[in-house]
């Protein structure tokens, strides 16, 4: 595992346009520790989709170096290989969908495969046969989400078949469909129905002789809101990045521990312009000044992760004051009405997403709400052309 002194700042091109995504790695470490402490179980940090847009390699370096998690979870074989190539030695679980065609890479890179279908099992068995050595895997069962996983009724049979093929089923997993919206006090919730189905699969797999070591079902919401869903391991994604609007429900003391959003989208005022009454700004002349106005030209747009659909709704924070964006958000430029913000100058910092001074912070939930997006889409949607910069104590 990489040590705590490992640099977490990746090389980046010279920043000429002062638009950047800032990622607070100390917040991610703090959130991960809070989740693991609350769950009382192993924590696999979910770093798929480039760490939900935060930077998978940098996040993994920070968490591994700080010993803040026990392993990582990704979706794609390529994502797991990239972690290994970056020097990450902790376990890496490749959750799918079907990895048929990538089994050699999984085994060669010492990744942990997930068997979620008969096809997965058959393809992995071929690799085991060619190599002549057994492989550890986790078996995923479908407990009601109807997306990935083998039928509960077939779990025992497939576990036995895996054993005969040289595949040791050391983990049993499922995925919760409604943990973020279910009431933890409701005994008839979808989550509890899924957990009951998971228990059936568990008994069948154990009866088939599988050498199970870990059981896991919980995503972030499951880990923090449902005590009985924690088992031996939890897989937390959105919570370690300090997001999850369901945290605001206050349904769990554990949920209150995770309150450190790690991402900020920031830029600077590039130009200031005086707009006469009746004059328009931007494409389509969709906004016209109803009074003598002062606007700030901001060097970012929908190509950077500020959705065009947020036009007419989005705001930014300048000098601790919220200012509305006016006119259509274009590919590279947004325009803020700063008439009510005294003293704005070219070069002033502008917070588009995240913490700002003066109580003007903008959450991912609010940001997404302007364009009909989820928090996941907000952070994952930050364009790769926007440099990531990393801050925070990673010890």
Write out the catalytic residue numbers.
48, 283
| Phi, psi of 263, rounded to the nearest 5 degrees | -110, 140
Query: Is 13 exposed, middle or buried (CB count within 10 Å of its CB: 0-12, 13-18, 19+)?
Result: exposed
> How far, in Å, CA of 211 to CA of 320, rounded?
57
3-state helix, strand, coil in the chain (%, to 5): 35, 25, 45
Tokens coding 127: 């690799």
Q: Are strands 167-173 and 214-216 parallel, antiparallel or unpaired?
A: parallel
Beta partners for 350?
A: 267, 318
> How far, in Å, CA of 321 to CA of 179, rounded?
36
Which H/E stretch holds residue 18?
Answer: none
Instruction: Name the nearest CA neighbour of 98 among 136, 135, 124.
Output: 124
Residues 269/299, Cβ–Cβ less than 8 Å: no
> How far, in Å, CA of 66 to CA of 240, rounded?
14
Which H/E stretch holds residue 196?
Answer: helix 190-207
């Amino acid at each position: 595992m990489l040590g705590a002194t490992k640099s977490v700042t990746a090389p980046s091109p010279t920043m000429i346009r002062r638009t950047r995504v800032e990622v607070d790695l100390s917040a991610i470490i703090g959130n991960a520790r809070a989740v693991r402490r609350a769950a009382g179980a192993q924590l696999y940090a979910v770093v798929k989709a480039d760490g939900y847009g935060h930077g998978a390699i940098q996040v993994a370096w920070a968490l591994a170096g700080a010993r803040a998690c026990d392993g990582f979870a990704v979706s794609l074989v390529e994502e797991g290989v990239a972690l290994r190539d970056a020097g990450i030695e902790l376990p890496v679980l490749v959750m799918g969908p079907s990895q048929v065609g990538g089994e050699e890479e999984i085994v060669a890179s010492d990744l942990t495969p997930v068997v979620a279908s008969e096809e997965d099992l058959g393809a992995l068995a071929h690799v085991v046969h060619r190599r002549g050595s057994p492989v550890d895997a986790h078996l995923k069962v479908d407990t009601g989400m109807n997306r990935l996983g083998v039928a509960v009724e077939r779990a025992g049979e497939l576990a036995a078949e895996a054993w005969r093929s040289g595949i040791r089923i050391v983990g049993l997993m499922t995925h919760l469909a409604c943990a973020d919206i279910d009431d933890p006090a409701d005994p008839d919730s979808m989550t509890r129905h899924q957990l009951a189905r998971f228990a059936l699969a568990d008994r069948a797999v154990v009866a088939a002789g599988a050498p199970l070591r870990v059981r896991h079902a919980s995503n972030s919401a499951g880990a923090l809101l449902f005590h009985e869903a924690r088992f031996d391991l939890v897989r937390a994604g959105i919570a370690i990045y300090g997001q999850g609007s369901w945290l605001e429900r206050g349904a769990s003391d554990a949920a209150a521990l995770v309150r450190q959003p790690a991402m900020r989208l920031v830029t600077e005022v590039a130009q200031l312009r005086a707009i006469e009454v009746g004059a328009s700004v931007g494409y389509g002349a969709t906004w016209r000044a109803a009074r003598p106005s002062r606007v700030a030209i901001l060097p970012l747009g929908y190509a950077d992760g500020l959705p065009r659909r947020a036009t007419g709704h989005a705001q930014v924070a300048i000098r601790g004051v919220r200012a509305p964006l006016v006119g259509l958000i274009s590919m590279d430029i947004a325009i803020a009405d700063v008439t009510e913000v005294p003293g704005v100058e070219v070069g002033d910092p502008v917070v588009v997403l995240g913490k700002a001074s003066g109580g003007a912070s903008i959450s991912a939930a609010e940001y997404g709400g302007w364009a009909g997006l989820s928090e996941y889409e907000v952070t994952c949607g930050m364009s790769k052309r926007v440099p990531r910069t990393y801050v925070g104590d990673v010890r």
